[in-house]
Amino acid sequence: MMWLAHDLLWLDRFLLVAGAEKPDLPDWVTSGNGPVVVRRERVSIAGLVAVGVRGANKNERCAAYAPLSAVQSSLTPYEITRAQAWLDHPDRFKAPVLQALETVAQVLDGHNLEWGITGSLGYELATGDKQIHAKSDLDLVIKAPKPLSKPFARELLKELGELPCRLDIQIETMTGAMALSEWAGKSSTVLIKTEKGPFLVANPWEGGMQL
């Protein structure tokens, strides 16, 4: 199974492996029972996937590695979107991030884009654990194996208009991910995040120069 950045993985946290820079994992990491989030990193050791662990607050974030054999189940951001759990969320009409999602979903679906929910909202919708608050961002990803033009990106941002919370949309290409807002900009190059690190590219669907 090939898991990608932002996918959620459920596993026994006691099997998580720490990185060389931090040989010991905090107790809250191994004692937790929620899913971990796949990180965008190429792992040189066979049988491991890079993951990030969320704690009770924003100060509790930890990078680790999970044995592939330990993964019991998984969920992608796109599967979270398709489940539409936000339609039954008790704060659907009160939380700014959910109010924004109502608008954004209509626009993205109107363009027949495949998009997923990530970040704190994605985690909450997937697990039922309270994560969002009044100042939460709306973090989304658009799957774009084929090029999206700059004019289309600008028009998309224009259609989204003013929202009640900060919006961060990443465009996921076959080579990595970039911010929709950057791709819609006037610069001749854009920063794309890959498993090998960040690159500056003119065409995010091709190669580029590593930073």
- Secondary structure (3-state) at 86: helix
Closest by CA to 136, choosing from 107, 111, 164, is 164
- Please check whether residue 115 is in contact with residue 143, taking contact to mean a CB–CB distance below 8 angstroms: yes
Catalytic one among 91, 109, 129, 139?
Answer: 139
17's CB contacts (< 8 A; 6+ apart) are: 48, 64, 65, 66, 67
Any catalytic annotation for residue 137? yes
Tokens for 159, please give them.
């259609």
In order, the DSSP letters of 169-191 are EEEE-SS-EEEHHHHTSS-S-EE
CB neighbours (10 Å) of residue 198? 15
Any catalytic annotation for residue 24? no
- Please check whether residue 190 is in contact with residue 182, taking contact to mean a CB–CB distance below 8 angstroms: yes
CA atoms of 72 and 4, how far apart (whole Å): 16
The set of catalytic residues is 137, 139
